[in-house]
Every structure is written in C-alpha cells, then in structure tokens.
C-alpha cells in the first residue's frame, strides 16, 4: 500500500507542475514578461504553502 500512495503523490505533484508549466507558457504566448510574473507568483505560493507544512 505504501508504494501506491507514494505513486499517487508523485502523479499529483507531476500533474501540478505540468499545470503550472502550461499556464505559464500560455500566458507567455500572450505577453512574454507576464509569463515571468506568473511563474514568480506560483513560486511564491509554493513557498508559502510549503512553509506551513514544514515544522
């Protein structure tokens, strides 16, 4: 059961990163500097969420 839950967590993380990449790429296609702003916002949000879960 441990292997299945770790595989599920890996799939969840991979899908999340793919989604962030797709959103950032789409925004960058519209206006390139906005792509950097979006990826920065995602990085900031990830840092805040990870800081809440790490003791």
Q: Are 20 and 42 in contact (CB under 8 A)?
A: yes
1 has a pLDDT exceeding 80: no
Average pLDDT over residues 6-34: 94
Q: Where are the alpha helices (DSSP H) in 1-55?
A: 2-30, 32-53
Q: For a pLDDT cut of 90, what percent of the chain falls above it?
A: 67
Q: What is the mean pLDDT of residues 14-33?
A: 96
Q: Where are the domains of the chain?
A: 2-53
* pLDDT for residue 52: 86
Q: What is the pTM of this model?
A: 0.80
pLDDT digits (tens, 9 = 90+) for 28-50: 999 999 999 999 999 999 999 88
């Amino acid at each position: 059961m441990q292997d299945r839950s770790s595989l599920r967590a890996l799939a969840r993380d991979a899908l999340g990163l793919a989604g962030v990449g797709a959103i950032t790429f789409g925004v960058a296609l519209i206006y390139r500097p906005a792509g950097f702003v979006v990826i920065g916002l995602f990085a900031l949000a990830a840092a805040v969420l990870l800081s809440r879960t790490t003791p």
